Amino acid sequence: MRKVIYPGSFDPVTFGHIDIIKRARDLFDAVVVTVAVNPTKSPLFTVEERVHFIKESIKDFTNIQVDSFDGLVVDHAKSVGASGIIRGLRAISDFEFEFQMALMNRKLANDIATIFLMPHEKYTYLNSSIVRNLASLKGDISDFVPPIVQNALKKKFEGNN
């Protein structure tokens, strides 16, 4: 059984993340989407909210679990029995950071592979921070995030301006 984890901040989950989840699901037997607690970032949504948004957005998919963790990705991968880490690559700008992370993770755990997947071209410019900014300025985010996230962002920024 080939299990992989897909870690990230998912603050909030976008159609780009969901595209990668589908691609991973088509390649592996099981996918664990893991919301990482990153102490260097101050997220807009709590870990519980981020997990809930992902679960709701993929509730019709099979063989996918959603969880969260606070610690090293490779440790979490081992604890759930995953043999690989999925990361999405949008553009060359992602490459250097992802390359460093993948090599560091290999150094920490030689038996855990990092697998990069590319989303559909229409999501290559999409990231959570652009969506947060757009929502804060009351822009239309319906092409970028699932309905549950659209509503949560609208609520978050209600009354701004």
Our CB check for ligand ADP shows the closer of 30 and 87 to be: 87
Residue 129 among the catalytic residues: no
Our CB check for ligand ADP shows the closer of 44 and 158 to be: 44
Q: Which residue has the tokens 């390649």?
A: 27
Torsion from C-alpha of 20, 26, 28, 34, nearest 10 degrees: 30
Shortest spacing between CB 1 and ligand ADP, in angstroms: 23
Q: Which listed residue (57, 119, 132, 135) binds ligand ADP by CB under 6 A?
A: 119
Identify which range of 23-31, 62-70, 121-129, 133-141 contacts ligand ADP by CB under 6 A.
Answer: 121-129
Contact flag: residue 90 with ligand ADP (CB under 6 A): yes
Q: Which residue has the tokens 């949504």?
A: 45
Q: What angle (nearest 5°) sits at the alpha carbon of residue 30, between those of residues 29 and 32? A: 160
Task: Enumerate residues 3-22 that contact ligand ADP by CB under 6 A.
Answer: 8-10, 14, 16-17, 20
- In angstroms, rounded to a whole number, what is the distance separating the alpha carbons of residues 116 and 123? 15
Residue among 31, 30, 42, 41 nearest 7 (CA) = 31
Residue 78 among the catalytic residues: no
Q: Which listed residue (23, 25, 76, 87) binds ligand ADP by CB under 6 A?
A: 87
Looking at beta carbons, which pairs linking 56-60 to residues 24 or more positions away fall under 8 Å? 56/146, 56/148, 57/13, 57/18, 57/146, 57/148, 57/149, 58/18, 58/21, 58/33
Contact flag: residue 126 with ligand ADP (CB under 6 A): yes
Which residues bind to ligand ADP, rule: CB under 6 A?
A: 8-10, 14, 16-17, 20, 87-88, 90, 94, 119, 123, 126-128
Task: Point out the residues that are catalytic.
Answer: 17, 41, 90, 128
